[in-house]
Every structure is written in C-alpha cells, then in structure tokens.
Amino acid sequence: MGREGSLASESLYVQMRDGTRIAVDVTRPAAPGAGTVPAVITATRYWRSFSLRTPGSPGGSPLGPRDPIGDFFVERGFAVVIADVRGTGASEGVWPHPWSNLEIDDLRDIVDWVVDQPWSNGRVGATGISYEGTTAMLLASLGHPAVKAVAARSFEYDVYADIVRPGGVLNEGMMRSWSESLTALDENKPPKLFGPGRLLIKGVRPVDDDPKAERLAAIVNARSNPPVFEAVAAITDRDDHYDEQEVTLDDLSVMSRLEDLRDASVPIQLWASWLDGTTARSALRFYDELPNVREVRIGAWSHTGAQHGSPLSHRGEPDPPLADQWVEIAAFLGPRLLEAFDGREITETERLVHYFTLGEEQWHSTPVWPPAHVHPVTWNLAGNGALATDSTDERVMRHVYDSSTGTGKSNRWYTQLAQPVRYGNRAHEDRRLATWDSAALVHGIEVTGSPRATLKVRANVTDLALFAYLEVIDLDGYVHYITEGQLRARHRGAGGRSTYLRADAASLGPEDVAEFSIELLPTSVYVPAGWHLRLAVATEDNANFESLNAGVTPEVEFLCGGGSGSILVLPTG
C-alpha cells in the first residue's frame, strides 16, 4: 500500500465467484479519524492505471486515463475503486464482447467486496465516461442494496443505432479505430488514443504483489479476446448475432436492462453533449423512460468533457470547466452516499434536463423534453435551393455526387476516441452537396429538439445512404455545422421497413420515389437575425461511414416544393 499525505492507495486482485481475479485500484482517505467512507466505482475497458517508463511516482492516486478523479473524490471523503473489467488490463478471464453477462456479474461481486471492507460505510456509487458510463448504469441495474446513486457520462442507449450503425450505416472509421485501440490495450501497448503521453507509459499497472509484472505478462500472453471491428462489420441488421455468439447488439445495450433499472430505482445523473456522437439522444431517451433519472446535463463539450465543442464559440475551455463538472457529480453523489446521511433518505427534487444552447452560449432547465415553449415549424425544400416556410412550386433538384465528401476526423464521431470536436467552415464542402438555404432571418430563432428531414428522392442505385446536416450561415458567409442524421435505404432498424430504390428502370417515374424520413440528432441552438439556415444532404461521409456505392456515381433527384415535396421540420421556440 502506498501513502501520500492523507491518501492511501493499493492495487490488488479481487476474486470473483468463478475464481477469476479482477485487478482493482483502491484510493481512500488515510487521515487519522477518517472513519468509514462510501466508495465510487469505475469499471473500465481502458486500463485502471499506468505503469510508467520513468522511475518514481508523482504521488497521489494512481496515474491513469481518468486523472485526477481519484484525488478529487478522496479529498471529499470518498474511496475510489477502479477495476479492469474481465479479460482486460491486468484482470484475468476473457472479454468475449462488450458488457458480457459475466462482466455484469463481476460488478455485483466487486460491490460485495467493497461493502465487506473495514473502511466501507456500506454505500456505493458509480461514475465513468463512455464504456465506463455503461458499466455504471449496469451496476445501477443490479438491484444491490448498497448501490445508492450513479453519475454516468457520454454513453449509448442502443449500441446498434447509436454507435455501430446509426441510421443503418456502419460507423466504420470510429469502430475500426476503437477496435485497433482495444487490440493494443490487450497486448499491453499504449494505444494512439492516449495521445503523445503514451510514450511515457510502459503498460497497464500490475498489482502490488506482482512487482516484476510476471503474473501480468502471463495473463497478457494468454489473452485471446476477439477483435471488435470484424464482429460489428459483419452485422447488417440489429437481429444479427455478434461474432457468431448467441448475443445481438440489443443484448449488449443498456436499453435491454430498462426494467431492471426501473425496479432498482437507483437515482441517476446523466451527462452528454450535443456534439458527442449520439450521447444527447441517449440521455434524453433514458430521461423519458426511467423516472429514477433525476438529472440530465447536456453541454457542448468533447467526449471527455475537457474541451469546448460549440461550433458558434471560440472558447477552448468548456462551460462549465471540467473541474466544475466533477463538482456537480460530487454534489449529486454526496448526499446519497456520505456517512453523515446514513439513516435518513434523500428527498428527491424535481426531475430536470439542464441544457446548453449553442450560439446563445447559455444554460437552461426544463422538466419536460422537448421544452414546453417549442413547437414544430415546417420548411419546404424548393427546386431552386431555397428553404422557405411558405409553399413553393413543385420541381425536381438533380444532384450528382462524388465519393470524397465527408466531415473529417475532428467530428462528433471521432471525439468518442478522446479527440476534440471541431468542424470548421463547411462552405467549401457544401459546394459538392445538395443544399437548401433560407433567406436571411428577420428575427432570431431558437431550435431546440430533434429536427426531421423528409426527403423524397429518385436515384440510379439500388441502395443509398443520405446524410442530412443542419447548418447555419453567419453574416460573413461562414457555414457552421449544428447537427446531423443519416439513413440507409435498406435499413430496417427497430420495427422499421426497408426502402428499396429502383435503379433498373431506363426512365425513373413516380413509382420509383423513395422517402427518407431522417431524424437528426437533438440540439439546442440560437440563430441570430440576419443569419441563414441551411440543410445540406450528402451520400457519403468518407472518413467515417461505410460507402455503399463503390465504383458508382450516385445521381439523386430530390422532389421539392408543392404540398408533397421534401421538407425539414424544426422544433422552434
């Protein structure tokens, strides 16, 4: 055990019910008279802590990917327990796929172990980002009497629709990079997602009684976890099995445990961002379906919460700063976990969604989503590229696409690999897309909720993906990305039906029209007077999503105007 002032830390193995040993780091107050304390658990796929190439120790809690969380919570009277999930890091066993049933059973065993420790006050919470946000929610679903609250950040409701195949289109770039990172971690090599600092990292930290890392080396050499990308790339529809195992992506999703979460009634705080994958939509779905979700906080930050991601702001630091985000998490967990509150229950206050409005760069709160002041406004897509609320003449806009269009690698999908999110000026890219622009707005408008684009098209291909981007154009002509949605023609999703395009007809007629109803990811943005709204539509996002038309140039006709053409519906306040 190491000590640094009033902090004690140790790394050890905890044996699970089947004999598998899970590596955990425990950091807790060590000052005389500290008494018993609650524990905050994080179960991670990304190494609980590091073994460094440089000699010595920086002091404090073990150095790892989620610093300085350990020091932060210990200073406030918590113990922090960080575990390498089964088959990863320094833990024994096999990781067959994300969030296996054995991995979930391990969470229960870890809670039992924590409660049995002499320093424990018998109360346990959980927190974490991304994979760890999911394990926090899974821990809340156990119904364990010691679990009193969780604060989960930046994770998915539905693995299939939210991260692997949004709109039925394979999220190829992100999933391939993630899979490569996991393979590196399993080989005890620091992955690229750790950034330049990885050069100082030798590997995962061995437990204290394995000082020469001999046991760790044996575990790593015996490891045979299946690669993720090959498994998810073979999945087309949500009922396809993962890596020929008897599970689907639905089985791996937190949504499959909604009933357990309701029954457990553990108070939950959720964190997300308008610019971080589909995390905002996921958090809002949980808020809608789980009454024990007491708070949702949706900001404009990167996946880690460390960088500001608002496309309408130049600030680098998020609002609020990351340190203040952790203060809010501690304020939620503390009253439910700290020993001073033993013997009396917390009176839960009104459920609220706290959300950040881009452009206005201000926070707001609402008990219902969408907020009560929002109502839908329909904008018609005209054949001349106009976007207008009044009816327009019925025409066809024809667009020939190329395969090189995309949103780059500093976007909402790549930030999930711990990268910043910056879109830059979309004006040049939009010249290669089909676009519809509004006139300069006479009055500023607020868009808060999930826009929906209904696109009626004919095309020269039998399968097609459409990517719809809501953008705004400022007084200088700078085009700012706001949000997006995508849909594959053959996607049958959750209860949906396939839309097949007909490319065999020599002359495309009315019977060949396909309707793409694309729900864009939720957002909140204030667009000032004098600016323009834009809807841009692509058939490729070449750095991110799979290409469905290799070797073919998609030619798409958009039916516009009149009373039955393509439209954009904006939730407007």
| φ and ψ of 153, to 5 deg | -125, 135
Task: Indicate which residue of 186, 210, 276, 430 is catalytic.
Answer: 276
How many whole angstroms separate alpha carbon 49 and alpha carbon 245?
31
Cα dist from 238 to 108, 270, 519, whole Å: 28, 25, 18
Task: Indicate which residue of 25, 100, 186, 303 is catalytic.
Answer: 303
Cα dist from 415 to 20, 280, 420, 486, whole Å: 34, 14, 6, 18
* Residue listed under structure tokens 């140039």: 553
| φ and ψ of 84, to 5 deg | -80, 120
Cis peptide before 166 (omega within 30 of 0): no
Beta strands in 407-507 (DSSP E): 434-437, 445-449, 452-459, 465-473, 479-488
Which tokens hold the place of 248? Answer: 């689907």
* Residue listed under structure tokens 């939210």: 162
Q: What is the dihedral of CA 377, 382, 388, 390, to 10 degrees?
A: -80
How many whole angstroms separate alpha carbon 65 and alpha carbon 62?
10
Task: Indicate which residue of 9, 100, 130, 253 is catalytic.
Answer: 130
User: Is residue 342 annotated as part of the catalytic site, yes or no?
Assistant: no
How many whole angstroms separate alpha carbon 393 and alpha carbon 543?
37
| Contact between residue 139 and residue 147 where contact means Cβ atoms under 8 Å apart | yes
How many whole angstroms separate alpha carbon 523 and alpha carbon 309?
13
Q: How long is the chain?
A: 573
Cα dist from 412 to 275, 309, 534, whole Å: 5, 9, 19
Which tokens hold the place of 256? Answer: 């499959």
Q: What is the dihedral of CA 191, 232, 410, 485, to 10 degrees?
A: -160
Which tokens hold the place of 89? Answer: 């890091």
397-426 as b/e, with b when 16 or more CB fall inside 10 Å?
bebebeeebbbeebbbbbbbbbbbbbbebb
Which stretches of 157-297 are DSSP H helices?
Answer: 159, 172-186, 214-222, 228-233, 258-264, 279-289
Q: Which residues share a beta bridge with 206? A: none
| Contact between residue 73 and residue 80 where contact means Cβ atoms under 8 Å apart | yes
Residue at 64: amino acid letter: G
User: Is residue 130 annotated as part of the catalytic site, yes or no?
Assistant: yes
| Contact between residue 459 and residue 509 where contact means Cβ atoms under 8 Å apart | no
User: Is residue 364 annotated as part of the catalytic site, yes or no?
Assistant: no
Which tokens hold the place of 344? Answer: 């009396």
End-to-end CA distance of the chain: 57
Q: Which residues share a beta bridge with 99? A: none
119 DSSP 8-state letter: T
The catalytic site residues sit at 130, 276, 303
